Amino acid sequence: MKNSNYKIVVLTALVLLTQSCSVVGYFSSKKEVTGDYVMELKPVDKKGHYDMSINVIQGIASFENGWFTAQTSAEKYLLINYLNEKGESEFNFRLDVNSHGQDLSLEQISENTLYLYTTVGHFDKKESSGIIRMVVELPEKVNLKRDMSQVTVKIDKTVHLNLINATPTLSEDKQHFAIRSNNSIVVDTKENVLANNLSKAMRFDIDEDQLKDENGKVMWFQGIAMKDGKVYCLTGNSTIGSVKKIYTYTTEGVLLDKKRIEKDELAKQLSEKIEPEGLTFVNDDLYYTIMIKDKTGGNRKFLFKV
């Protein structure tokens, strides 16, 4: 009887420990997680008068030792953050523009000037959308470091592409755009896209299998990246038990590779949802973010490497 009671106490303690463990600890220790956990991301909106945690990161792009992120802010603004190597916000700024912030691409123009590209216009509606380009002015380096709190961001160019749900990515060589439009991908040179001339663009449909989960439920398009003539597409909804997918295509639409992101055990124990968002390359490594709604009802944001 004494041994039985001891076992009950031990098992209870283990259950409580499992329930109280942090998401970070779970990510870093569980075999069910496909891909490598990097860190938790903590964007902020200092001008916001609402719970920032309800929003999710829609786009992410690396710069130096940190990350620029984009997301909607109360569905009224485009919110840009710069997060350091610990995932902490060193800069945040609202742009008064109708943008979902998905996806985000970065182009360095000079030592202290960048372009950021993302979607602009109505999203998830049957209305046209396009690309917005922001110019980012960086402070000078002092002792090899920048004071990123002194960054400035402003809208530089808006291109109305007449595409539904336009989700753009700039290729790693900065020469082409791949743009999701509804359930298709449009690929053209940067020059043509910024001139709003898609008359010679290549177009192909996303594979039907990528747009549905194993139960036939619709999968949302969540991110796009382009490197070495290949287009990487991320799909997945927030439903627990629904597999998330990264498929790789040629620019002509030939399906080259299929990857699955499976975190069911994690989601069942720690969250009410698990949603992928955004794709970006750092050298040869592909990164994506995962949003998890924790017990407080807010979305926590995490970075993974494929």
Distance CA 253, CA 238 (A): 26
Determine the average pLDDT of the residues in 161-165.
91
Strand partners, 61: 68
Q: Residue 269: what pLDDT?
A: 56
pLDDT at residue 22 tops 50: no
Per-residue pLDDT tens over the stretch 50-66: 666 677 899 999 999 99
Q: Residue 3: what pLDDT?
A: 46
Q: Residue 112: what pLDDT?
A: 97
Q: What percent of the chain stands above pLDDT 70?
A: 83
Q: Residue 52: what pLDDT?
A: 66
pLDDT at residue 28 tops 50: no
Q: Residue 58: what pLDDT?
A: 92
Q: Residue 6: what pLDDT?
A: 38
Half-sphere exposure in the Cβ direction for 111 (13 Å, CA):
7
Bridge pairing between strands 184-189 and 176-181:
antiparallel
Half-sphere exposure in the Cβ direction for 16 (13 Å, CA):
6
Q: Residue 186: what pLDDT?
A: 97
Determine the average pLDDT of the residues in 14-41.
52
Phi-psi region of 240 (alpha: psi -120 to 50; beta: other; left: phi over 0): beta
Strand partners, 92: 81
In eight-state DSSP terms, residue 31 is T
Q: Residue 128: what pLDDT?
A: 83
DSSP 83-148: E-TTSBEEEEEEE-S-----S-EEEEEETTEEEEEEEEE--SSSSEEEEEEEEEEPPPPBTTB--G
Closest by CA to 168, choosing from 224, 233, 95, 242, is: 224
pLDDT at residue 29 tops 60: no
Per-residue pLDDT tens over the stretch 266-282: 555 556 778 899 999 99
